[in-house]
Structure 1
Amino acid sequence: MTTTAPAAALTTASITAALFQTDAYKLGHIHMYPQGTTKVLSNFTNRGSRIEGVDHVVHFGLQAFLQKFCIEAFAPFFAADEDDAVAEYQAGLNDILGPNTVGTGHIRALHRRGYLPLIFRAVPEGTRVPLQVPSVTVESTEPEFFWLVNYIETALSASIWQPSTAATIADKYRGILDAAAEKTGTDAAFVDWQLHDFSFRGMPGVEAAAASGAGHLLSFKGSDSLASADFIRRYYNSSFGVDNGQILGSIPASEHAVMCAGGQDGEAGTFRHILEVNPSGNISLVSDGYDLWHVLQNILPGLKDIITCRDGNVVIRPDSGDPADIVCGTSTRPGAAVPDAVPAMTSDPAFFGVVAILDAEFGSARNQAGYKVLNNVRVMYGDSITPERAADITARLETAGYAAENVVLGAGSFTYQYVTRDTFSSAVKVTYIEVNGEGRNVFKDPITAKGFGSKRSATGRLAVTRNDDGGLALIEKATPEQEEASLLQPVWANGGFLRRQSFADVRAVLGNIAS
């Protein structure tokens, strides 16, 4: 029997929802600024790093925020009847703060304006921005709406810290894998596919997965996070510039539900069936449903005739255990003692690892750099991968004489969800206001924070320039001339875009994927 919800239980979207996408305490800030305030300027800056070796953050996600929040989210409010919109806001205000003196005059004025009177300036998305250098500024454009700048701080911060953090972590992976490819004779184009995004199911919601996954795709093309493709089509459409080309790609791949469907006794038949219904092309097979070593040493040899005749590689995917040990073998551990007698592969397969066992069965060929590349098979490991483990795996493969292209790694939520706004100390802070026509340089510098890493913010009007070495640097208390020449250029103002980037353009700015 099925039932439907009573009509009274159905609700419509709030026409003032966007105005409540902020911290509750900000609702009354309009009356807390100095009397006569007519302008506020804030900036988004990544102030520090909790990831060793990372001192730049890839700027990404602002364009999506501007379209989704500053235009689309506010559209119902501006389209609604003025009195209806103000009444709904007042009802929400009363419910949150109770009887208060905040008032709704500023909301009525905003509705009559019909757009957000703000201007955003930013460096091009895809830019590696040094810590302590702002990537975005936002400023009020009309005196009556000074309060709006930090009113939208919450949504701005929540919308861009995660995609920029993901893009930065992916960039770190890219550096590790590019270096391994160069050392072992692997084509750099292969690295586009060497880190595959498996994070979707582990992220805190579909929107977070889409934005984070788009950050991954600035440095790699391999991904199963299909929501990211829609995110990119919506907010970084190719019509904004050059053709985006291939956004992401994947291959047919099994999972444990498929591999275990026939039971342990039917495991060999499951492998055979999947290969028979996928007679060509690369295919990935999860292989640790029961006994990984049994699969490698008994099931796969029985399928060698099928595997070696296929046009495309069979990718063997172990998915549990210590990643480096499973892929490379315990014998390759840094500092591992050389045993008096090497054990038989059948008696201690973990000593050799997946790559060596596959080499023994299917053979390999040496590339021009002298490193071995497996015949007809590859390895993928996608559980609990980190940049450190990626470096360990590729280094151990190199030591054992294998090219980096023998392995593909999967980055899941262990990479992209175990981060916070504090990973790069990302924050929006006011640096400049005007009161009664007089400019004031504003900053915070808590004395109690000095022993725990300074929280001092920048001050004054801001500009970003290049040093003699080409690096980016912040100019505080910038002159009009310095602002005019700044790399922080207007991208959106008073309800519309002044400049947009395609996803291909953002990729080109970062420079990890060739066009």
Structure 2
Amino acid sequence: MSQQYRSSLILNTDSYKLSHFLQYPPGTQYVSSYIEPRGGELESVVFFGLQAFIKDVLRTPVTQDQIDEAETIAQAHVGVFNRAGWQRLIEKHGGHLPVEIEAVAEGTVLGTRIPLVQIRNTDAEFHWLGGYLETALLRAVWYPTTVASLSFACKRILLRYLVDTAESPDAVLPFQLHDFGARGATSEESAGLGGAGHLLNFLGTDTLSALLVARRHYHEPMAGFSIPASEHSTMTSWGREHEVDAYRNMIERFAGPKKILAFVVDSYDLWHAVDQLVGMELKTLVENTGGRVVIRPDSGDPIAVLPRLIEHLMTRFGHRVNAKGYRVLPDFIRVIQGDGVNLDSLPRILESLKMRGLSTENAVFGMGGGLLQKLDRDTMKWAMKASQVVVDGELRDVFKDPATDPGKRSKPGRLAVVREADGSHRGLRVEELGGQQNLLRPVFRDGQLLIDEDFATIRARAAEGLRV
């Protein structure tokens, strides 16, 4: 696959789109379409990712080479290609896209079934263009928004348990869910976009690509943080007989005042490692780092293993009872659970800690595939649908209403989004605004990015939407 092909907007679509320019009614001038999540597994939506796509893709003009290549492929593939339309795009607009995109502000937290993006052509000659962009545009927003929304749902769960069991929830929450998903994502681009979506809600990540997305597209010098940490190969390379030396090396290399390090302890016998090696042989070293040592189990059922592990550490290092009546490890030691964590297991793990009288601040969590990969377009039932056309100057509502699936009914008309007095949001027709502020604001028009927000602003907006 050539670099030219990968970067071709004309070929960044579904095959059937190649023939759609011939399928609209004669005299069609404008087509307006919108994107929304129609429901699914998550109640709250954290919108994210459109600005990165506009900067990466939509601002780049279509070229003659791309037209020539696309024609060769399209004619051989489906036997039809809109050569005249794409050629006219270069002649009339220099290859820039004559469309306007409106969207809610990134980081906004809304419910489902609310339009997040709306697109319409600005030149009547290119009524076919908005629909042609559906594949690329929908994909550009459904994935990072779904990850951001999933991460947000986890944040809400974590906060609820911290409020119940910890004295200072706000001090713990920002780092309580760490992104371990880079290696499980289908591409570096996916890892970066999804990882950046997670960083709207938390500050911990091991996905370096996410830092680049936030840096290059959202003006954020450093969006997330990590610590020195081990993997099994760096531990087991010492040999079983020198397991304690592997742990000692980690502490000697990376520990210090206000420093944090983590090492995995289940390479052989987790309980021997915790009770004998960390809890006895290295006890004084752990207690006197001036920072924090984080212990990571990586096998077994976390609902059973995690509370037992924390209690073993309390036996060796002691604990205090906080103002909420829950036991807490000393500040110099904590636990991170990075295996088997997902939206379904997380509340059950937290409940297991709470039921044992253990504050959930004792543990932080890592999510890999459960955060960046175990989701798809149907997780939130994403769709882009046409809602209005103009044919020979006449406005026509456009919608679908399948008798076999009422959940797929789409919205008619040119749309707007408003914020209600109770903080919720509602989609409606622009004619029904009645002076209310339309939260669908223009972000792109005729090749130009109109709003360029920084990551801190978007992150703050997502934080405003958090409810316990």
| TM value normalised by structure 1 | 0.85
8 Å contact kept, 1:219–1:513: no
Alpha-carbon distance in structure 2 between the residues aligned to 1:283 and 1:319:
16
Give the AA of the match of 2:425. Answer: L
For residues 163 and 404 of structure 2, the distance between their equivalents in structure 1, rounded to whole angstroms, comes to 47
Residues 68-79 of structure 1: matches in 2 within 5 Å?
Answer: 68-71=56-59, 74-75=60-61, 77-78=62-63
Task: State whether residues 363 and 374 of structure 1, in contact with CA within 8 Å, keep that contact through their aligned partners in structure 2.
Answer: yes
Indicate the residue corresponding to 1:24 in structure 2: 15
Aligned to 1:132: 113
CA contact (8 A) 1:15 1:85 kept: no
Q: 1:343 aligns to what? A: none
Distance (whole Å) between structure 2 residues aligned to residue 231 and residue 458 of structure 1: 33
Shift of 1:500: 1.8
Task: Note the C-alpha offset of 1:255.
Answer: 0.4
Q: CA RMSD in A?
A: 2.0
Deviation at 1:282, TM superposition (A): 1.1
- Deviation of 1:442 after TM superposition, in Å, equals 0.2
Does 2:285 correspond to 1:306?
yes
Larger CA Rg, structure 1 vs 2: 1
Q: Contact 1:465/1:474 (CA < 8 Å) preserved in 2? A: yes
1: CA distance, partners of 2:193 / 2:428: 30
Residue 472 (1) aligns with residue 453 (2): no
SS at match of 2:45: strand
Pick closer, same or farther for the CA change 1:483–1:25 going to 2, 3 Å.
farther
For the residues of structure 2 that align with 1:499 and 1:260, how far apart are their CA atoms?
51
2:179–2:371: 8 Å Cα contact kept in structure 1? no
Segments of 5+ residues of structure 2 without an aligned counterpart are: none
Instruction: Give me the whole-angstrom Cα distance separating, in 2, the residues matched to 1:385 and 1:162.
Output: 20
Map 1:82-481 onto structure 2 (within 5 A): 82=64, 84-98=65-79, 100=80, 102-112=81-91, 113-114=93-94, 115-184=96-165, 185-237=167-219, 244=220, 246-280=222-256, 281-300=259-278, 301-328=280-307, 353-375=308-330, 376-450=332-406, 454-476=407-429, 478-479=430-431
Match of 2:461 in 1: 509
Further displaced range: 246-255 or 177-186: 177-186
Amino acid at match of 1:206: E
SS at match of 1:387: coil
* Aligned counterparts of 1:213 and 1:497: Cα–Cα separation in 2: 23
Amino-acid identity (%): 36
Distance 1:512 1:197 in 2: 22
Q: Which one is further off, 432-441 or 412-421?
A: 412-421
Give the structure 2 partner of residue 347 of structure 1: none
Q: Which residue of 2 aligns with 1:6?
A: none
How far the C-alpha of 1:92 sits from its partner, in A, is 2.3
Q: Secondary structure of 2:239's partner?
A: coil
Q: Distance in 1 between matches of 2:371 and 2:4?
A: 34
1:492 equivalent to 2:444? Answer yes
Cα distance between partner residues in 2 of 1:370 and 1:304: 26
Q: Secondary structure at the match of 1:18?
A: coil
Aligned pair in 2 of structure 1 residues 261, 303: CA closer, same or farther (>3 Å)?
A: same
Name the aligned partner's letter for residue 463 of structure 1.
A
Runs of 4+ in 1 over 6 A off after TM superposition: none
Query: How many residues are treated as equivalent by the alignment?
Result: 459
CA distance in 1 between partners of 2:203 and 2:66 (Å): 44
- Tell me, in whole angstroms, the C-alpha distance in 1 between the residues paired with 2:124 and 2:105: 28
**1:5 alignment partner in structure 2:** none
Question: Measured at CA, do residues 206 and 266 of structure 1 come closer, stay the same or move farther in structure 2, by a change above 3 Å?
Answer: same
Structure 1 residues 157 and 103: CA distance shift in structure 2, 3 A:
closer
Corresponding residue number in structure 2 for 1:348: none
The gaps in structure 1 that reach 5 residues or longer are 1-9, 238-243, 329-352
Q: Secondary structure at the match of 1:67?
A: helix
Structure 2 distance, partners of 1:423, 1:387, is: 12
Quickly say closer, same or farther: Cα 1:465–1:410, change in 2 above 3 A.
same
Maintained 8 Å contact 1:59/1:135: yes
